[in-house]
Structure 1
Amino acid sequence: MSSHVIFGAGLIGSYIGACMHQLGVNVALVCRPTIKHKLISGVTLTDYQEHHANVTGLNFLDTDVLARLEPDQLKCDFLWLTVKCQSVAQAIQDIAPLVSDKTVILCCQNGLGSEKPVQNAFPNNVVLRVMVPFNVVELKAGHLHRGSQGHLTIEQTIKGQVSEILQERLNSPLLPVAQTHDMQALLWAKLQLNLGNSINALADIPVKSMLQQRGYRVVIATLMQELLTVTDELGIELPKVTSVPAKIVPYVLKLPNFLFTLVANKMLAVDPTVRTSMWWDMSQGKPTEIHYLNGAVVSSAERLGKKAPANKRIVTLIESLTSSNGAKKDLLNLARPISAKQLQNFIRKR
C-alpha cells in the first residue's frame, strides 16, 4: 500500500496528491471514476505565481485494485481526508480498511469540528487537522490550477515530529507547507475568510469580481464582525493569515473601491477564474458546508448567549436555495445570481 492515501480526491485532494507524486512521494488517490478518467493520462499543475509541472503515472485506489490486495496490504501510513464536512460521517466507514493503529489521519475540511467524529471513530490514531487556504480550479480536464495564496498548514503534535517530517518532505513552490501549534485559532482565522464562500455562491461570479464590488464586501464584512465578536468572547487571538490583521479586514473590506484596490492589492492576488467550493456545490446541486461555516458562527454565538443575525440569515438563504421545497424558495423571493444590494437588504431584515 502507498505510504500516503488521498481519500475523497476532488479538486483540492487531486492537486495535493499530484504535487506529492511530482515530489516522488508514494501516494495513491481514492476518487470518483469521473475524476480518475480526467487525471489518469497525466496532470498539469500550475498556480497564480506561474509555477508549472507536468505529472504522469498517478496511482489510484479503486475497487479493482482493492480487490487484489490482502487486508494487511491496504493499510497506509498517512491518510489525507479531503472530503467535504458533510461527507465525513460516510468517509469514516469507508476509510476503515485503510487505517492501521499507526496510520496518521489528516483532516483537511473547512470550518470547525469536523475532525471530532474522526477522533471518536479512531481513538488510538493520531488525528491532525490541516488548514488548506488556497483555491484550486480545473482549467480543463487534467489541468489543476492553484488560484490563490497561502500555505497548507499542518497541526503540530506535542513533540511536533509528524508535522515537521511532512513539512520537510512536501513543501514546494506548487505546494507551500507550514505547521502550527495553535490550529484552533488558525481555523477560526480561516473561517473568517471562508464566510465569503456563501456570498460568492449567492453572487454567482468569480471571487475576484466579487471582491472588486464594495457592496458584496460590505456584506462579508458584516459576517466577519459577528465572528470577531465570538472570538473576542472566547478569548481567541486570530493569527494573521492575509496581508491585513484579522480585526482590520472588515474595515478594509468596507473601503471605497479605489482605496480598497490600493490597500488590499494582495487580497486581489486571486486568479480571475477562482470560485469557492460552495459555489461549485450549489452549481452542481450538492449539499453545502454552510452549517460548518456561517452556521458555526451562529451556533458558537448562541452557546455564548450572543447572536449572529447576519450569518443566520445567510444560512437560511443558502438552505432555501439548496432545498427541493420550491415553496420555501418563493417565501424568500430570491434566486441566484443575487446582487449586493439584495443581499444587504436581506441581512438587515429581522
Structure 2
Amino acid sequence: MRVLVYGAGGLGLYIAGRLAQAGHAVTVKGRAATVLALRGEPLQMWRDGAYVEVRDITVVDDIRAIRRPDLIILTTQAGQVRAAAQDLSTPLTEGSRVLTLQNGVDAPAELAELIGAERVLAGTIVVIAKRLSHSAVEVIGEEATMSLGVLPPGPATGVAAPSSQSQRVVDALRGAGIDASWTGNVLGALWKKLALIASYGGIGAVAGATVGETREVPETRALVESAMREVFAVANAMGAALGKDDLGDILRTYERGFSPDTTASMQRDLAVGRPSELAYQNGAVVAHATRLGVDVPIHRVIYASQLVREQTARRVAKALRTGRV
C-alpha cells in the first residue's frame, strides 16, 4: 500500500516507521528541517531502551510531486486540518482515503466538508510516541491501539461493517503491529477519548500536576471523574451511546494505564507557552454543550482559566512568524 503520513511529529514518525517496517511504501510530509535530518539517514525508533533503524521512508516538504497514495494518515494538530486539506488536493484520487487521528471530535466532520465525506475515515489512537529529534522517536509503554470508523450523515452512530477498502486499511495497520479495529460507533470512540484526555489533561493544566499527583489527592481525582461525566453527558446528547462500561474503561486508563509522571500534550504545550489544542478539547466540550443545553461547569472553568495562556502563546507564535517580536 502507498501511504502518505502527513505530519512528522512523534505520532507521524511512529506510524510511518511501523508501516515502513511492514513493507509499505511510506512517504512523510514534514518541515524542511525534518527532510534535511532524514535525507539519507534512517529513522531511529526506540522502545524499552532498544532501537531499530528504519530506512525505507521518503520524506518531503512538498507533496505535489509524490505518487498518488492509497491512504493518507493525517497526524497534525486539530487546528491544522483545514490547511492540510488544501495541501492534499493535489495527491488525492478518487480511491484515496484520508484517516484523521486528531485529538478532539470535530476533525472528521471538518475534513469531510473540505474533501468529501466518502474519502474520510475517522480514527482514534492511544500511544505515547515522543519525538526525540527530527529523525528519532521513542515509544513509551505499549504499542498503539486504534479504532477506525465512518461518521454517517444522519443521526446513527456509525457504519457497522467496513468496506473492502476500509478493511484493507485496518489490515495494513494490524500488520504493522498496531492494534487497529473497526467500530460501528466511531462517534462514541472519539468522545470517549476526548473525555479521557480533556479531563485529566485539563485538570492537570489547572493544577500544574502530573497524573500521579492528581490521582493521589481524592478531591482532585474526583474532579477528574466528574469532568469525564460531563463529557459523556454531551456525547450522549449527540447520540454517542456511551455507558458505565465506557466510563469504567477510561477511569482504569487514568488510574492504572499511565505512569505517575504522565502529562497530557495539551497540558505540556500550555505550560511552556506553545499554542495548544485547548479550543479543540475543552473548548469543543463547552461549545457542543452550549449548543445542546448541557451543563459542563468544570470544563467551562478549565477552558476559561487557560485562555490567557493560550491567547498569549498564539500572539507570541504569530509575532515570531511575522518577525514582529
Does the 8 A contact of 1:167 with 1:178 survive in 2? yes
2-structure distance, mates of 1:306, 1:288: 25
The alpha carbon displacement at 1:202 in A equals 4.1
- Most deviating of 168-177 and 110-119: 168-177
Q: Does 1:155 align with 2:149?
A: yes
Look at both structures and tell me which one has the larger radius of gyration over its CA atoms. 1
The answer to whether 1:320 aligns with 2:308 is yes
Look up the match of 1:135.
128
Task: Please say if residues 275 and 310 of structure 2, whose CA atoms lie closer than 8 Å, have aligned partners that are also in contact.
Answer: yes
- For residue 283 of structure 1, report the CA deviation from its aligned partner: 4.4
Tell whether the 8 Å contact from 1:5 to 1:27 is kept in structure 2 after alignment. Answer: yes
**Contact 1:185–1:238 (Cα < 8 Å) also in 2:** yes
Partner of 1:218: 222
C-alpha distance in 2 between matches for 1:268 and 1:150: 17
Percent of pairs with identical residues = 22
The amino acid of 1:276's aligned partner reads: A
Contact kept, 8 Å, 1:211 with 1:268, in 2: the verdict is no
AA partner of residue 30 (structure 2)? C
Query: Partners in 1 of 2:219 and 2:186 — Cα distance?
Result: 32
Aligned runs of 1:21-170 on 2, under 5 Å?
A: 21-37=20-36, 39=38, 41-47=41-47, 53-63=52-62, 69=65, 74-123=67-116, 125-139=118-132, 142-147=136-141, 151-155=145-149, 159-170=162-173
The answer (yes or no) to whether the contact 1:130–1:152 under 8 Å persists in 2 is yes
Residue 111 of structure 1 contacts residue 191 of structure 1 at CA under 8 Å; is this kept in 2? yes
1:13, CA displacement in angstroms?
A: 1.2
Equivalent AA in structure 2 for residue 42 of structure 1: P
Deviation at 1:8, TM superposition (A): 1.7
Instruction: For 1:27 and 1:99, locate their aligned partners in 2 and report how far apart those are by CA, in whole Å.
Output: 15
Q: CA deviation at 1:55?
A: 1.8
The one of 258, 262, 266 equivalent to 1:270 is 258
Q: Is the 8 A contact 2:18 2:176 kept in 1?
A: no
Asked whether the 8 Å contact 1:30–1:61 carries over to 2, the reply is: yes
> How far apart, in 2, do the equivalents of 1:272 and 1:51 lie?
22
| C-alpha deviation, 1:5, in angstroms | 0.3
Among 177, 182, 204, the alignment partner of 1:179 is: 182
Aligned pairs, number: 301
Instruction: Answer yes or no: is the 8 Å Cα contact 2:273–2:312 preserved in 1.
Output: no
Give the deviation of 1:37 after TM superposition: 4.8
Structure 1 residue ranges without an equivalent (≥5):
253-263, 326-350
* Aligned-CA RMSD value: 3.1
The one-letter code sitting in structure 2 at the alignment partner of 1:155 is G
| Cα offset, 1:106, TM superposition | 1.0
Deviations along 1:94-121, one digit per CA (max 9) or x if unpaired, are: 1211212221111111111212232122
Q: Supply the distance in 1 between the matched residues of 2:197 and 2:165 (Cα, whole angstroms).
A: 27
SS across alignment from 2:311: coil
> Deviation of residue 145 (structure 1)?
1.3
Distance 1:93 1:231 in 2: 29
Gaps of 5+ in 2: 151-158, 314-325
Partner secondary structure for residue 105 of structure 2: coil
Output the amino acid matched with 2:204.
N
**1:238 Cα shift?**
2.0
How many angstroms apart in 2 are the aligned matches of 1:169 and 1:271? 30
Q: 1:199 aligns with which of 196, 203, 206?
A: 203
Distance, in Å, in 1 between the alignment partners of 2:32 and 2:119 is 30
Q: Give the CA deviation at 1:248.
A: 4.0
- Map of 1:222-233 to 2, 5 A cutoff? 222-233=226-237
Aligned residue number for residue 7 of structure 2: 8
> 1:215, CA displacement in angstroms?
4.5
Q: Distance in 2 between matches of 1:323 and 1:113?
A: 21
Which residue matches 1:292? Answer: 280
Q: What displacement does 1:218 show? A: 2.5
**Is the 2:6–2:72 contact (alpha carbons within 8 Å) kept by the matching residues of 1?**
yes
Q: 2:101·2:123 contact (CA, 8 Å) conserved in 1?
A: yes
Retained in 2: the 8 A contact 1:78–1:105?
A: yes
Inter-CA distance 179–76: structure 2 relative to 1 (3 Å threshold): same
Offset at 1:30? 0.4
Q: Following the alignment from structure 1 to structure 2, what is the Cα–Cα distance between the partners of residues 272 and 44?
A: 26
Deviations 1:235-279 (A, max 9, x none): 532278xxxx233469x6xxxxxxxxxxx5884333566432213
Deviation at 1:299, TM superposition (A): 2.1
Comparing 138-147 with 163-172, which one deviates more in the overlay?
Answer: 138-147
Measure the CA separation in 1 of the matches of 2:208 and 2:131.
Answer: 17
